[in-house]
């Protein structure tokens, strides 16, 4: 299975691109099973391949405006602008702003009042007495 922290080498990226060119997008298990690529991608899972391919495809050619996949073929999928550290930080800071500006929520109650405890004790005592009476009646029969 793939290792999340392992950086992709140039050789692995090239094998992935060649595998997609040969087998097509979405055929990750076929790419891993192909003897031409499995030695280079031995440490990767099909999910690793899918994620890396998605990240490789998140580029937009400058100037021409044409959407291209990493192997140069036209892409029919939606291509997103490249992610930058600022984009990621903006996303998190906007969500934290929403949390700060959100109306206060009711705090959960951590204890009961003395009257609530007394009422609960009476109710429990009543149910215990009923259960004892019922049990005694069953034993006498």
Residue 60's pLDDT is 37
Residue 58 has pLDDT above 90, yes or no: no
**Per-residue pLDDT at 117:** 85
For the chain, percent of residues with pLDDT exceeding 90: 20
What pLDDT, on a 0 to 100 scale, did the predictor assign at position 30? 92
In this predicted model, what pLDDT tens digit does every residue of 65-97 receive, in sequence order? Answer: 444 555 555 554 454 555 565 555 555 555 555
Could you read off the pLDDT of 97-127 as tens digits, one per residue?
Answer: 555 666 666 666 667 788 888 898 999 999 9
pLDDT for the residue 63: 38
Structure tokens at 72: 């140069």
Mean pLDDT score, 48-72: 64
Residue 117 is given by DSSP the state: H
The per-residue pLDDT of the chain, averaged, comes to 74
Q: What is the pLDDT of residue 138?
A: 84
- Cα–Cα distance, 55 to 82 (Å, whole number): 9
Rounded to 5 degrees, what angle do the CA atoms 85, 82, 40 make? 100
pLDDT of residue 59: 53
Asked whether 16 and 53 are in contact (CB, 8 A), the reply is yes
pLDDT at 122: 94
């Amino acid at each position: 299975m793939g290792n999340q922290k392992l950086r992709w080498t140039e050789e692995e990226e090239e094998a992935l691109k060649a595998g997609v060119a040969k087998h097509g997008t979405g055929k990750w298990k076929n790419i891993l099973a192909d003897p031409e690529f499995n030695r280079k991608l031995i440490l990767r899972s099909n999910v690793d391949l899918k994620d890396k391919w998605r990240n490789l495809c998140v580029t937009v050619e400058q100037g021409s405006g044409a959407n291209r996949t990493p192997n140069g073929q036209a892409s029919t999928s939606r291509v997103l602008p490249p992610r930058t550290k600022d984009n990621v930080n903006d996303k998190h800071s906007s969500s934290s702003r929403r949390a700060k500006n959100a109306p206060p929520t009711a705090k959960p109650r951590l204890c009961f009042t003395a009257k609530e405890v007394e009422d609960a004790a009476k109710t429990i005592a009543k149910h215990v007495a009923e259960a004892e009476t019922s049990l005694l009646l069953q034993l006498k029969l």
